[in-house]
Chain A
């Protein structure tokens, strides 16, 4: 048996097909080697994110209950009201303003709540004042945020009111690309008395409706 006995004969059609992709077959990008240590690097990042998620407030992942990690509640009458909040409410609708104003005026002592949100390790320089105003149609969530970077082009922020580590309701989304000059006005269909924990997460556009688990701000009414 010689070296040519099992010679595979070229197939002209196959040769023509491959020749048609000759330029791409000759390109280094087509043959680029995967980064060294890729598996270890990806798994390390995933483990780190899992660890962060386990210590953060999410509906599908456990929340850390460290009181020192949660900013104190500030009573409504003690807060410094910013005029921009009412400008923002005006943008949300005149009728809504009337309802909110009337309701909050009537109940401001026991319904309107202001609390400070503290930045997590994902946004250590960020802080926020959240004002929760219950109205007959839902809870208005007003956020004055500082030090939070704008969301990336494929990201957005989402605010949540939570009842427990497992149960939370979204209050709405924003991207903060305007730099935070105005109060962010969101609405929630649940009461802060039942959902006393407020968090803000950074979400991926292609990440689905669930919380990403990446909490950037948090505060609690229970502290």
Chain B
């Protein structure tokens, strides 16, 4: 990871490709959360990584995820501001209120959940997706995937344990000192 950060900071193209592959999921979740199902999502995700490359010399940390989150969120808000300005009449205050209503904590939570989901083994991730997003029952998932119900239950239980461990820092009352706060992330160069 340290080597990836160093190579990304140097603008190494292989490192840029690896960073995009590794973080495109969480970045897409952030952009989509701010912009909704807009045609601008693809542009927002692309611009996030281009801006990250442009400012990679200034990156000082060892974890790219919160830095990319801040760039993704800021880029999305800029796109949203541009898109809304004509319809709101150019009143900046109204635009800011509308954008902030998106919810800082919720966008950050979505980002962290997506990171945790992307870390799951593919088989477990499929079960979680079919269960939570599609809304299938365990027997329905078993039929859909062509596996035993018991296997679905095992994968679900293991996936939930991994997710719970990865998301513990987001629970109410959790010690968040190890997690960059939204505000400090926003203030990074």
Contacts and interface: CB of A to CB of B under 8 A. Distances in A.
Interface of A: 3-4, 6-11, 13-15, 17-18, 20-22, 24-35, 38-39, 41-43, 45-46, 49, 152-154, 204, 206-208, 210, 212
Given A17-B167, A35-B28, A210-B57, A6 B154 contact: yes
Contacts of A8: 153-155, 157-158, 161
B81 to A, nearest CB: 7
Given A14-B161, A25-B128, A46-B50, A35 B42 contact: yes
Interface string B142-158: 00000010110111111
Contacts of B29: 29-32
Interface of B: 13, 16-17, 20-21, 24-25, 27-29, 32-33, 36-37, 41-42, 45-46, 49-51, 53-55, 57-58, 71, 74, 78, 81, 106, 109-110, 113-114, 117, 128-129, 132-133, 135, 148, 150-151, 153-158, 160-161, 163-165, 167-168, 170-171, 188-189
A29 B50 contact: no
Contact of B32 (A13, A26, A32, A41): A32
B160 A212 contact: no
A197 B71 CA distance: 33
Given A11-B164, A24-B106, A207-B55, A31 B46 contact: no
Contacts of B53: 42, 46
A14 B51 contact: no
Contacts of A45: 46, 50
A42 to B, nearest CB: 5
B58 to A, nearest CB: 4
Given A30-B29, A32-B28, A207 B58 contact: yes
A34 B51 CA distance: 17
A204 B54 contact: yes
B160 A14 contact: yes
**The 10 nearest A-B residue pairs measured at CB:** A14-B164, A34-B24, A35-B42, A17-B164, A25-B132, A8-B154, A8-B157, A32-B32, A3-B148, A29-B32
B46 A41 contact: yes
A203 B57 CA distance: 14
Contact of A207 (B54, B113, B128): B54
Nearest to B52: A42
Given A3-B148, A26-B135, A42-B16, A9 B28 contact: no
25 contacts: A3-B148, A8-B157, A8-B161, A11-B160, A14-B164, A17-B160, A17-B164, A17-B168, A21-B109, A24-B113, A26-B132, A27-B110, A31-B133, A34-B28, A34-B45, A35-B28, A38-B45, A39-B17, A42-B53, A46-B16, A49-B50, A154-B78, A206-B188, A208-B55, A208-B189
A28 B129 CA distance: 10
A43 B106 CA distance: 30
Given A14-B163, A17-B168, A29-B33, 17 more contacts: A8-B158, A10-B156, A11-B160, A17-B167, A21-B113, A22-B132, A25-B128, A25-B133, A27-B110, A31-B29, A34-B24, A45-B46, A49-B54, A154-B78, A204-B55, A206-B74, A206-B189
Contacts of B157: 8-11, 14
B7 to A, nearest CB: 14
B132, B135, B189 — most chain A CB neighbours (10 Å): B132
A61 to B, nearest CB: 11
A10 B92 CA distance: 50
A153 B27 CA distance: 21
A146 B148 CA distance: 71
Contacts of A49: 50, 54
